[in-house]
A and B are shown apart, each in its own frame.
Chain A
Amino acid sequence: QSALTQPASVSGSPGQSITISCTGTSSDIGGYKYVSWYQQHPGKAPKLIIYDVSNRPLGVSDRFSASKSGNTASLSISGLQAEDEAIYYCSSYTNNNISFGGGTRLTVL
């Protein structure tokens, strides 16, 4: 199972917007509508913030949005806040397996 490709780090100032990409193949991201995103703060368990490409669970801020085009999924965060500083992971279902991206560290400057 190959990991999905994410940038190692992104940064932005409070109030700004950022986008994190997640690149896979036609066997995972490109082949299914089953992409999800997780937020992980240091020492904590991952938290689901997006599922099925672009759906937000109840309680997740609408500052988080996501989409997919071809083999690449994207997570956008608008109106950056200090609490958004964390590592973000994408995930995709693929043929009875699950792939995760390597994670992107978001720094709020």
Chain B
Amino acid sequence: EVQLVESGGGLVKPGGSLRLSCAASGFTFSSYSMIWVRQAPGKGLEWVSSISGRSSDIYYADSVKGRFTTSRDNAKSSLYLQMNSLRADDTAVYFCARVRGFSKFDPWGQGTLVTVSS
């Protein structure tokens, strides 16, 4: 069964850092691009970052560029999101998803909640 499981969320103060993980199973992780998408409480989906299978191409939304870093460890079938200089508006559930082609984001993990508050 193809599965993605996020972890690492929690409560952090403004200006702090947090590292999210996304553990993949059931497929050849290195063969797929992956994305991070977030959803603020009661709001819609917002793309955060994309990374190709071999990490040769990494892209970020303007809202997180320079503060967030996406990486992956194909040997561990894991995706990471290092979040620095966190702000209140980064509060959201963060999802990881597998990418096939350019528009097939499937499956998604269950999400992990990040709360930025003093």
A-side interface residues toward B, CB under 8 Å? Answer: 1, 3, 32, 34-36, 38, 45-48, 51-52, 57, 89, 91-93, 96-103
Cβ of B61 < 8 Å from any Cβ of A? Answer: yes
Excluding A35-B103, A101-B44, 17 further A-B contacts by CB distance (< 8 Å) are A1-B61, A3-B44, A34-B101, A45-B107, A45-B108, A46-B105, A47-B108, A48-B104, A48-B105, A51-B100, A51-B104, A89-B45, A91-B103, A91-B105, A93-B103, A97-B47, A102-B44
| CA of A89 to CA of B65, assembled, Å | 24
B45–A96 CB distance below 8 A: no
A38–B105 CB distance below 8 A: yes
Cβ of B68 < 8 Å from any Cβ of A? Answer: no
| CA of A40 to CA of B117, assembled, Å | 27
Q: A46-B45, A100-B45 are in contact. Are A36 and B108 (CB under 8 A)?
A: no
> Which residue of A34, A92, A96 contacts B59 across the interface (Cβ within 8 Å)?
A96
Interface band, chain B: 20 to 34
Cβ of B89 < 8 Å from any Cβ of A? Answer: no
A91 / chain B contacts, CB cutoff of 8 Å: 45, 47, 103, 105
A100–B106 CB distance below 8 A: no
A99–B47 CB distance below 8 A: yes
Report the minimum CB–CB distance from B79 to chain A (whole Å).
15
B-side interface residues toward A, CB under 8 Å? Answer: 35, 37, 44-47, 50, 57, 59, 61-62, 95, 97, 100-111
B104–A36 CB distance below 8 A: yes
A100–B47 CB distance below 8 A: yes
Report the minimum CB–CB distance from B10 to chain A (whole Å).
19
Which single residue of chain B is at the shortest CB-CB distance from A100?
A: B45
| CA of A103 to CA of B42, assembled, Å | 11
| CA of A1 to CA of B50, assembled, Å | 14
Pick 13 A–B contacts, CB within 8 A, sort by A.
Answer: A1-B62, A34-B102, A36-B105, A45-B109, A45-B111, A46-B105, A48-B107, A51-B104, A52-B104, A89-B44, A99-B47, A100-B45, A103-B44
